[in-house]
Structure 1
C-alpha cells in the first residue's frame, strides 16, 4: 500500500493511511506500507509497528532509491518502488491513494489488474470534468480491480462520468479507529467554566480556520466565556498573506490555545476534554462528495460537532440535527449557534447522534467490507481443480457483454486457466487462433448459439466438453438447426420457459438443455434510495417496439390521475439510434404514435424524463421505486430484477414465462392492474415491506455469487443446477 501522504503530518489523509492499513490487517491481510517520507515522528507509525501483521518499508532509511529529495517520494519514484517490491514478493493487491500517483500506477503493466485505487482528489462537479480528467479517470478505472469511493455520492458521480468505473466502484468510507482505553467525552452537562471548543486538522482558507479563531471573542460578546483548542501543524501556504494571518492568530489570539502537532492519542484526549467539536467550513465545500474523518472521530469520542447542513450530513445525522450551520453562515451566526449549545440539552442530543453515526464506521465494519471485496478479488479454487494443472477453459463469442462478470469470476479462480476468443462479428474471427484454442481447451463455452457454436462443435476433440449458451435472438435463426447436438454437452438457457421452448423448436434431447439464470450484481446495486423514489417508475430499454413503452405510458397515466407526484424515468437509446429498427416503417410508425401521445396528453405533461443509455444503472436506480416490464415477450428481463436488488419493486406484465422468473406477487394482467397495485403499495404505506421482500427474492435466486457457483459447478463437475424455486403465494 502507498498513499501520497506524509505520515509525519497529522491530517485526515495521514490518519486514513494508518486506518486503512489497520483495516486490511483486521480483514486478514498482511499489509506492507511504503512510506513517502523519512520518519521524523512516529505519532502515526508506532501503532502500525506494534502489529506483527504489518510491515513498514522506509525508502529513506533503507536507501531504496538514489536521489531522494527532501519532500518525500515523487509519484514516479513511488511507482518504481511499488514495482520493485512487487517483483520481490508478488502481492495480491496494491492499494494506492493520490490521483497523480494512480494515473502513473495505471500505466504500469506489472500492477494493472491488482490496483485498489482510493479516489479523493478528483473532480467533484461537472465543470471540473474536462476531457483530460475523464481520460485519466478512465485509465485508472480500467487498470483497477476496485475503485474505492468514500461516499455513495462520489461513487454515483464517478460512474455517471466514467463508464469504465461502473461495476468496479465500491464503497470504502472513512474508518474510525480508537485504541483500547481511548478517552470519552463527559456526558453533556451544564458548562462549568468556559465553553471549550476543539478543532483538529489542517489550517486552510476553505476550512474556515481563520474565522474560527474569532469565535472566543464573539462568544464573549454574547456572555458566553469560551476557549478554542486548535490541534495541528499544517498551515496551507497557497496564499502567503493568509498563512501569515493564520499563524498570527494561532500565536496571539485571546481564548485560543494552539497545541501544534501532537501524537494522535494526545489529540483525542484533548478533544474528549472539550464540549463541542468544530467542522464548520466555507460554503464552497458544501458540494463536496467526501465525508470528514474528523467528524466521525469526534463522534466516536461522544463529542457533538458543529458542521454545515448538507444533504450528505443530513443523511448522516438527520435533518433535525441541532448543531447544523445553515448555508453561507458567517462567524456571528456560528457564535449564535454555539451560544445555544452551551445548554446541555441540544449538546446531549447532538452527541448521541454523532456517536451513533460514528459506530457505522468502526474498524470492525471496515474489515467486514474489505473481507467481501477480498473474497471477490481473491477467491479460493473450486473443489476438484489443481492450480498446478489448471482446467483449460475458452470463452468464445462475438459479444460478451452478457457474460462479462461471469468471465471475470472464472478468470480469477485458481485452478482454471481461462482464455477469450472474441469474434469480430457473428461470423468474422481469427480462424487460426480459434483452431489453436479448440486444440488447447478442456472446456469451451460458446456465448450465443451462432457460428461460433458451429465452429467449435466441428473442431471438438474427444474428451473435450462444449457448453453453448442460447439467447432468444438465436432461437428463431438458422444456427440451432445446423448445430450437431451430439457434440454439445449442454445448451444453457436463462429461464425454464425458454428451455422448454428450445427443446420443442430444436427437437433436442431434454437432458441436453439446462437452465442457468442471468446474474444480478446484488452487491453493486444495493444502494440507498433517494427521497421520493417510491413515486418514480423506471423503464430500461424501450427499443424495439415489443418493449411497449405505450403500456408504460398507460400505467403512468392511470397513476397521475390519482397522484401527480408519479413520474416515469426512461433510460434507453432512442429507436432512431438503431438503424435496423428505424428503417422498418412499422417500428417508426409505432414510436411516432407513442411520442405524439406523450406530447399531447396533459396527464403525461412533465411526467416523463428520458435519461441517456449507459452502464451507470446502479446509480440511476437510486431514484427508481418501481421498474416496469411491459413487453410482449422477454427471455428474462433483467431490469425488474436489478430494480429489486436496488431496493425497489418489480412490476411485470404476464408475458410468456414471466411466472418462471418472478413470483406471482410482482405479476399483473394489464396496465390498469399494474397501476392499481403500485398506487395501493405506496398509498397504504407498504412500499418498504414490498421492496424488502423483492430484494430478498432476487438475492436468493439470482445473486451474482450464486450464479457464479452454478457456472463453476457446471464447468468443473458437469453438475446441473437445481431450478429456481419461486414462492407462488401472494402475501396478505
Structure 2
C-alpha cells in the first residue's frame, strides 16, 4: 500500500494582492512543498483582488487554495484581511476537521498564537523573520515569546546561517529545532538575460517602495550616470508604496511618475516581472545602511542573479558570504557610489561578466528543486516511516523511565514519531522518588520498558516485569560502580546497553552478567544539525566542552594551547562550560576546589594563556559554537564515550585525544596522541602543512558513518521493535577487529 502524501497547511500573515518579498515567499513555499510531495492547502489572508500571485498556483498539482472571504469561512472578516487570531482559529478548525501533518506559518504574532494551540503542537513549521536581530533589541518578553514558539514547533525555518546562529544563541529552546530554509527562486523556463551591456543600459528594481529600501534615491541614478557619460534608464516594477511618512510617499510617487529616464511599470505577475527584468542589464538591491545588520537574505537579489544579471548591492557580512568579499559590485551608502559601480562595470565587460557569473552561481543554490530536496529531508525527519516489524494498526507499547532523560530525549521523541509505536514517559522526580501508582500502571501496560540509567527505576521495573514483556536498561559510568547493578535481577533483563565497547567489557567484568546481554549502542551525533560552515580562522581555535570535575583535566588542555602559542600566537582555546562552583557537589570537595584554584591562577599569571583562553557560557548552542572551533581536545583521565570530539568531527573539525582507557575502541588511533606536547605538534603540523580540511573530511566520514543520528536511531528501533541485539559498533579499528 502506498504511503499517502503529507498534508501541509501553509499560511503567511501576508497579503498576496501586493507583490513584495513576503508574498513571494508564500507563493514559493507553496510551490516548494508541492514539489517535495506534499498535498498543500494555502490559506489566503485577504480577498483576491488581483490574481497575479495566486493564478500561477492554480495550475500546480497538489496545491489547493483556501479562500476565507470568497467561501465565507469566518464571520466578521475585516477589510484588510484576517487578523492573526482569526487565522489561527481557522487553521485549528481545518486541522480538527482533517489533521495536517505540518502547519507552516510566517509572522511572529501569528506563530505566538498558534503555539498556544495544543492541537498544533509539534506540527508547526515556523518561518521566522520579524523578530529582533540584535541582542540589544531582544527583550525578556520577546525571548519568552520565541521560546514558546520554539517549544511548540517541530522546526524553526531560518533564512540564513547567521539568523540561525543568533536565534540559537539567544533562545536555547531553538537548538536542535532550527533548520536552514533559504529563499526559493523560481524563474520561468527560458527566461534569462542576454549577458550583454547595451548602449542605453537598463537597471532593474522590483519590489516595494519604502524609505529604507532607498527607492526614492534610486530615481536619481539615471542623472548621476549621465554625469559619468553613461546613458541609463531605471526600470522600476511594483505597486506597493509605503504610506508613511506621508510626505515621503507623495515624493516617491511623483518621482516614479515624472522623473526623466525612470520607467515605472507598476505591479504585475511575478513571472512577468522576471521577464521584464531579464531585458535589463543590471539588478539593483541597494538599501539604507541601517539594514546592513539584517539576518535575512533578499529574494530579489537571488531572482535577479538567477536571470544572469549582475546585482549592485550593499557590502554586508551576509552579502559577502553569498557572493564573496571580492565581489566587484558592492556599493557605498550614497547614490554616487552606486553610479560609480555601474559605470565601472558598464565600461569593463570582463568585470561585468564576472559579476553576473558570481550572482548566477549564488542563485543556483536556491532553485526550486534544491528547496524541494531540502524539504524532503525535513519531512523524512518529522514523519519517519514505520520500522520493520512494527504494525501501525497494533502499536507496540513502550515506556521510557528514568529520573534524568536529557541523554535520551531525542531518541524517545524519535521512537514516539515512528508509526507502530506508542511511547509514554515515566519521569521520576529523583533516583528514588516517583509516582509508584503511575509506574505500576505503566509496568502493566507496556510491551517494552526502557530504563534510562541502571538505578532504582531498573530495580522497580525488573520486579514487576511480565514474562511476555521486554526490559532494556541503559547503563552509564555513574552507576557502574554503585550498588544498583549488584541488586538487579539480570534474569529479568533482556539487554543492558552501554555506549562503548570498553565500558561494555568493564560491565561484564564487574557484574559477571552474561556476555550476550551486555550490548553496545553508541551515543549519537546529530550530524545534520552540526554540518555548518566553519568561520574563517577556525583551524587556529581549539575547543573543550565541560571541564568539571577535575578528571576532565583542563590543565592538560592548557599545556596544549601553551605549546601551540609558542609556535604561533594565533592559536586560542575556547572552553564552553559551567564553572566548577556551579556544581555544589564538586565545589564542596576541597581537592576539587584546590585543583581549579591552581588552574585558574595559572591562566591569570601566564601571559600566553591569559590572552589565549576564552570561557564561553554553557548551553545547548553547541552547533553554532563549533563553527569557530577547529580542533576538539579530549584530555580526561577517563571517559565512557566523550561525545565532544565526535561532535567536532561532524561539524567539520578534527578530534584530538589523549589515551584515556577505551579511547581507541571509540576513535581511530590516528586522532589519539601520547601526551600534550605530541598533541600540540600534530595540530600545528596539520595546520601549517595545509592538511586541516583533508583531516576534517576524514574525521567527519569516520564519525558520521558510525555515530550519525540516523544510524544510532535505527539501532535503537531494531532493539525496541524486534528485540534485535546489535553487534558492537565503533569508528575505531581496535573495536572492529
RMSD: 0.9
Is residue 280–residue 307 contact of structure 1 (8 Å, CA) maintained in 2? yes
Aligned residue number for residue 187 of structure 2: 178
Structure 1 residues 453-532: aligned runs within 5 Å: 453-532=458-537
Measure the CA separation in 2 of the matches of 1:575 and 1:568: 18
| Counterpart contact for 2:426–2:439, Cα < 8 Å | yes
Q: Which segments of 5 or more consecutive residues in structure 1 lack a partner in the other structure? A: none
2:26 aligned with 1:22, yes or no?
Answer: no
8 A Cα contact 1:644 1:698, kept in partner: yes
Q: What's 1:363 paired with? A: 368
Q: Please give the alpha-carbon distance, in whole angstroms, between the structure 1 residues aligned to 2:317 and 2:528.
A: 24
What are the equivalent positions in structure 2 for 1:37-436 lying under 5 Å apart?
A: 37-181=46-190, 183-189=191-197, 191-192=198-199, 194-326=200-332, 329-343=333-347, 344-436=349-441
Corresponding residue of 1:683: 688
3-state SS of paired residue (1:96): strand
Q: Deviations over 1:610-647 (max 9, x none)?
A: 00000000000000000000000000000000000000
Distance in 2 (CA, whole Å) between partners of 1:129 and 1:55 is 37
SS at match of 1:61: coil
Say whether the 8 Å CA contact 2:631–2:648 is kept in structure 1.
yes
For residues 338 and 302 of structure 1, what CA distance do their matches in structure 2 show? 16
Query: What do residues 402-424 of structure 1 show as CA deviations (whole Å, max 9, x unaligned)?
Result: 00110110010010000000001
State the distance in 2 between where 1:180 and 1:214 align: 33
Whole-angstrom CA distance in 2 between matches of 1:577 and 1:726: 34
1:443 aligns with 2:451: no
Q: Secondary structure at the match of 1:170?
A: strand
More divergent stretch after superposition (230-239 vs 576-585): 230-239
- Give 1:265 shift: 1.7
How many residues of Structure 1 are paired with residues of Structure 2 in the alignment?
724
Unaligned runs of 5+ in 2: 1-9
1:561: which partner in 2? Answer: 566
Distance in 1 of aligned mates of 2:701 and 2:318:
27
Does residue 659 (structure 1) correspond to residue 664 (structure 2)? The answer is yes
1:625 paired to 2:630? yes
Deviation, 1:727, is 5.4
The alignment partner of 2:424 has SS state of strand
Find the aligned partners of 2:221 and 2:472 in 1 and give their Cα distance: 72
For the residue of structure 1 that corresponds to 2:39, the secondary structure is: coil
* Displacement of 1:35: 0.4
Shift of 1:723: 2.1
State the Cα distance separating 1:266 from its structure 2 match.
Answer: 1.4
- Cross-structure match for 2:5: none
Displacement of 1:331 in angstroms is 0.9
Mapping for residues 634-649 of structure 1, pairs under 5 Å: 634-649=639-654
Contact 2:195/2:281 (<8 A) preserved:
no
Say whether the 8 Å CA contact 1:665–1:728 is kept in structure 2: no
Q: Contact 1:481/1:506 (CA < 8 Å) preserved in 2?
A: yes
| Deviation sequence 1:677-715 (CA, Å, 0-9, x none) | 100000000000000111111110101111000000001
**Quick one: distance in 2 between partners of 1:262 and 1:483?**
73
Deviation at 1:725, TM superposition (A): 4.9
Contact 1:215 1:331 in 2 (8 A): yes
CA contact (8 A) 1:650 1:694 kept: yes
Q: TM-score, normalised by structure 1?
A: 0.98
Which deviates more, 613-622 or 717-726? 717-726
Distance 2:515 2:690 in 1: 46
Structure 1 residue 180: Cα displacement: 2.3
Alpha-carbon separation, structure 2, partners of 1:305 and 1:463: 68
d(CA) in 1 for partners of 2:726, 2:364: 41
2:82 match: secondary structure: coil
Native 8 Å contact 1:381 1:387 kept in 2: yes
Q: Distance in 2 between matches of 1:143 and 1:244?
A: 44
SS in 2 for 1:357: helix
Structure-2 residue corresponding to 1:596: 601
Aligned equivalents of 2:515, 2:244: Cα separation in 1: 73
Q: Distance in 2 between matches of 1:286 and 1:214?
A: 22
Moved more, 401-410 or 311-320: 311-320
| Alpha-carbon distance in structure 2 between the residues aligned to 1:253 and 1:187 | 27
Shift of 1:44: 1.1
The whole-number CA distance in structure 2 between the counterparts of 1:238 and 1:659 is 66
TM-superposed deviation, 1:726:
3.3
Distance 1:443 1:83, change over 3 A: same
The 3-state SS of whatever aligns with 1:110 is: helix
